[in-house]
Structures are given as C-alpha cells and as structure tokens.
Amino acid sequence: MCFFPAEFQGEYMTQSSSRGGVNLQYAPISILPESIPVWGVCHRRFGNRVILMDRTGGTNCIRCFELTLRSLNVVQIHTEGLDKCYTTEEAAMATCPTDESIATGKSREIMLYKTKELTGDPVVAQEYCPVNGRFVFTYSVNDGLADDHVTVAENVSGCQEPVSELSNCPYGFGLGLRFKRCSFGELEINFQCLGDWIGHNGERYMALLDVQDSQSTTTLTTAGGVGIINGAERRPRYRCALYKEDPETSKMYVALSSDSTCTNDLRSPKEGYETLVLTSIAPPPLPFEVSTSSCRFPSWAHGQWQDAYVEDDTLIYKDLRNFKTYTLKCMVDDKTLPDDQGRFVVYARTQCGDDFYTCLTVEKRGVNVMEFQLGAEKSTSYNQSLCQNEKFPQETWVTQGRITVFSEEACPISGEYTGVIPDAVGLCAKLYSDCRNPQRMFYSVSNCHNLSEVYEEREYRCLGKFTDRDLTYTYTERRDVLGYECFVGVIINDGELFIKEAGEHCQRDVEPLRLGMKVTRQATCYTPRPSAKPNAIATAATSTTNFNTNMHPSVVDSNGVHRPASSLPPHNGIQPTTIKTWKPVTDSPMGSSGYRNVFSSSMLLMAFVAVQLLDRITGSWFY
C-alpha cells in the first residue's frame, strides 16, 4: 500500500507564476493520504522517491517525484518536470531526481508551504529562527544577478552603514528587520520563520513568511519589483534564503531568492537577489562572581545533545517550546548528590539579553539520555536558596538524546506485540523489535478488520530507558521522520504490557495503565522485511541543534526539524506557541499545547480513514 505519512498531509500553497513578475501568483495544492490530486495517485515508493500515476486523461501518466519534509510547514519537491509523462513505471523511474541532478539544478524544484490541515483548519507551525539573537546589518539589492554580465557589486539600492537592526526578539519564531539610513529611507519588515534545513548542496536554507501589513508601501521600486523593500502587495509572501556564519569574523551572511523558490537568483549565502551581512551585537560582560566561579558541570553531561551543548561551566540550551536560547553558567554545585545527579545555582542569559539567576537540576538517565529542569524561581542576584526543593513544584523535565551514541541500547520490548488503539475505533497497532537489531523498534497502524490496510508505519531507535515511580520510560529517535519521542509503559508480565506516548520530553503526568494501549505478545522474535526504509519519505538531513562553540553563546547556528509530539507546560508562564499566523504588532505566542500537539496520531488516522471511505463512495480522489 502506497501512502504519504501524516506529517506530509495537508493543504499547501506553491508559486505558480514565473519569476520576475511584479505580483507573484500562488496556487493551492493538497497532499492526501494516498495522492497528490493534481499529479496523481501514489503508486509506489522507493526510499524518498514516489511514483505518481494519473489516469484522468484516459491513459497512464506516470512521473517520479522526490519529496523532502523540510519542516512542519515546508515540503520541497524535485522532479524532471511537469510537462512530461511516461506510460510505464520503468521509464518514469529512469527520470527520478538524483543528488547530482538536484545539486546542479537539472531537476525542477517545487516548494510547498503549508496553510491548512486536511480538516480545513488553518495552521502555520511556529519554528525557531536559525538567525538567533540581536544583530546590526548592511543590505543590498542585486537586481542584475540574473544577468551574468552584471556583478553583484552593481547594486540599485541598499543600506551600506551597519546600523540597521535584525533580531528574533522577543519571540524566537519571528524575525524583525529595521532598516535605517538606507537609500530608500527607513522601513520595518517582519517575517515568521517556517523552517530551516541543509540542502543537497550542503548549504543551509531557511524559509520565511512575510507577515507585514498588506497596506504597507514604500516609494522605491527595484528593477525586478519583488524585493524586501517593495510594498507588501508587491513582495513574495514566502521567501527562501541561504545563510552561513563565518567562524573567523562571526559575521553571518544571508541571501534571498527573487521569489518563493530556493533557486531563482540565489547562488550562495553571499550571492542572491538580496543580501544581508549580519554582525552580532556584543552582550555586556558577565558579572564578576560568574566569570570567576570554578564550578563545572559533570563530565558525563559534556558534549552535543539534540538541543543542548555542554562544556566545562557552560550549558547552551535551545528551548524549542518557548523559542528561547539559554546560556547557563555554572556557579555553585551541590556536592552531596551522587555523580549521576547534579543541582547547580546558575546564571542564565537569553539570546535577547534577558538575564537572571536560577537553579538547574541535571540527571543522567542512561549513557545516551539526560534530563534537566530549571527552577521555578528567578532572581536578579545570586542566592543559594534558589536550589531548595520547593523551587521545583512541578516535574517539567527536558529530555535530551546524545547526538553521538556512545553505546547501543536495546529496546525494552522483545518480539511482536499487538493491540487495539483505545481512542480510535477500528484501528489496530503492532509493536515489534528487530531480533537482528534489538535497538530498533517498529510501530504500525492498520485496519482491525483488514490488517493489509496499513495506515501508518514508524521506525524508532532506542537511545535509553529508565524507571521513575514504577513506570518505565523509553527515549527514542524517530528514523522514518526526524525527531525524538518518549514512551511510558507498565510491564504486567512477559506477554502483556501497557504503553502510551509521553511526548518529546517524557512527561510525568501520563498514565499508561488508565489511558494507554494494552498490547500482548504474539511472537518472541520478529524479523521484519530487509529494511523499513523503502517506504520512507525523505526528511531534512539533520534533526539536531548544531552549536558552534566558537560563536558567542547567544548566537546558535540552527534549529532542526522536529516532528509532532506533546509539549510540556510553559516554563515560568511563557506561552509556547500558536497555530495561527503570527501578527507581530498585536500578538504574542498563544495556546497551551504547542505546534507539536496540533493533532494526535489517532485524529490523523481517523481523518485518513474518513478520506478513504469517501473515496470508496465517490470512486475518485477529487480530481
């Protein structure tokens, strides 16, 4: 059965007019569970390549597409072209995009920007901006870049003095640009970050949504007519950019394409239709008692974690729930605790310059897993009482997996288990481990009355497990799509257990016995097909937060792609996110569950079943 994973499904907008137009046009496109209606039905998947078959013209029109999930908001597609069809699968397969054809531009790129779920609910997931902190910048418009005879230096307009300002403060999911002393005057532009990723060429990209008031205008019109500095009605609604930091100068280079593609007039982070050179605004020096402290974090915690980096007296944490980056400096540690635990008075500073003293508690949950949490109380001055037990009224742990796995951990289950999903009528699940690779775990959902109808397949790599209050927590890395997920379970006996998802951060308020799924063992060993990957769709090349330790702590290279998972309550009352489009003038992040909780797996599966039933009634996929 050929289908698209739930993370891909939804309604999107894609650029439909050619580049260079004053007013770009966009067209809607949908990814349904088993089809992309304008292109065809999912016929077969080979890794990240998909064969779509369209029979609406009376004859088979077969084409090969490569789909890559760049973020919850962005799907990047490559294909030979939409103007060619093939009548056989073999002929279409011969035209599938390759890394070389994509990197050299021989394959056509199609960018999809998500606007709605399949239910029709509007959604724009908030993503942490990779350009993180406060900067000053210079700006130039390079209208002649598309003409090989015109150099980048021949600018029509720009901001040559490094006094313009850019930041992702106070909300880390939005970029605010304040143009000053520019040839076109002064201007304010706001973008919402839609995601960032590493492309086939190894360069870093980011996607942006222009959220400027549609009535905003300026008097300047560039030659191409679609730059940042034009009135909002003339600007592309979606933008794509390349960015890179120079480790020697700490300057960051950002270049944007001339439209909503990631190719047109975009050559490198220094060569694009529009270019910016960012210089980080230096923070004030650390307080004397912080800079002179001899406190160090435990050696087992050192290294690169999925969203954190620990070295000596510094822990840098990118909080993707609240869109803040914390640089924590160790000041005093509790010497009475065991080696695998730690409680520290720390000095914290965010990427926006907010600073305070608080307490950090850290626990080793395995070779590849650690957890930490910040105390509920903040102070403007050092106070050792910040680490008293009452400063941690709730268990809001942050769970982290190590990027470089020290040793493989076997999953806690062995064999094949099946059960009925409790909150979805007619859906059954199978959970099984690979006897040859016990650190791998697989999960599939199917129709209870016809097990050959598979609606979802997942693959996990177990990073570690630990026990807390008689519950077993297993922290995993998703292998079919990028991200991390925690499971909590109760093992009744060798043949029976209850299990439930516990979000990305091993939530402690999940009750598997009452709300989880009961699964029973069907076999002591399960050997899956040679690989679960042939039916996997590609996701971005990395899911981790990469930290450049030569960079100032408030400037972090990039966030990764994170898949839906339950989020924790906001820390210290900071609201985590909203699924609405951000309006920077009037809005702040809203909602209590965050974008990782936009839809539960069961709701997505129920929507999938509903679409299938409707398809059987109508006999079509809404062509």
Q: Model confidence over 264-276: pLDDT tens digits?
A: 999 999 999 999 9
For the chain, domain boundaries: 10-121+601-618, 134-280, 288-401, 416-527
What pTM value is reported for the model?
Answer: 0.78
Name the β-bridge partners of 465.
474
75-99 residue pLDDT tens: 999 999 898 899 999 999 999 999 8
Mean pLDDT of 214-234: 46
Among the ranges given (10-24, 310-324, 401-415), the one the predictor scored with the smallest mean pLDDT: 10-24
230 pLDDT band, cuts 50/70/90, is low
- Angle at the Cα of 129 from the Cα atoms of 123 and 134, rounded to 5 degrees: 140
**pLDDT tier at 472 (50, 70, 90 boundaries)?**
very high
Rounded Cα gap, residues 155 and 143, in angstroms: 7
DSSP letter assigned to residue 455: E
Helix/strand/coil percent split, the chain, to 5: 10, 40, 50
pLDDT at residue number 583: 42
* pLDDT reported for residue 18: 61
pLDDT at 477: 93
More confident residue, 152 or 468: 468
In DSSP notation, 351-403 reads TTS-EEEEEEEEEE-SSSEEEEEE-S--BSS--GGGGSGGG--S---EEEEBS
The separation between the first and the last C-alpha atoms of the chain, rounded to the nearest angstrom, is: 20
Three-state secondary-structure class, residue 91: helix
Average pLDDT of the chain to the nearest whole number: 80
* Residue 573 pLDDT greater than 90, yes or no: no
Read off the pLDDT of each residue in 27-50 and give the average, rounded to a whole number.
90
User: What pLDDT, on a 0 to 100 scale, did the predictor assign at position 528?
Assistant: 57
Rounded to whole angstroms, the Cα distance separating 59 from 54 reads: 8
List Cα–Cα distances, 621 to 179, 422, 612, in angstroms.
Answer: 48, 29, 9
User: Whose CA is closest to 40, among 28, 25, 29, 26?
Assistant: 29
Q: State residue 610 phi and psi, 5-degree precision.
A: -60, -45
Q: What is the 3-state secondary structure (H, E, C) of 505-529?
A: CCCCCCCHHHHCEEEEEEECCECCC
pLDDT value for 576: 34
State the amino acid at position 86 in one-letter form: Y
pLDDT at 593: 34
Two tokens at 283? Answer: 């923070």
Which whole number is the average pLDDT over 422-430? 89
**Has residue 538 got a pLDDT over 80?**
no
Rounded Cα distance, 380 and 355, in Å: 8
For 329-375, the pLDDT digits (tens) are: 999 888 778 887 889 999 999 999 999 999 999 999 999 999 999 99
Q: From CA 506, how far away is CA 215, in angstroms rounded?
A: 45
Q: What is the mean pLDDT of residues 442-447?
A: 90
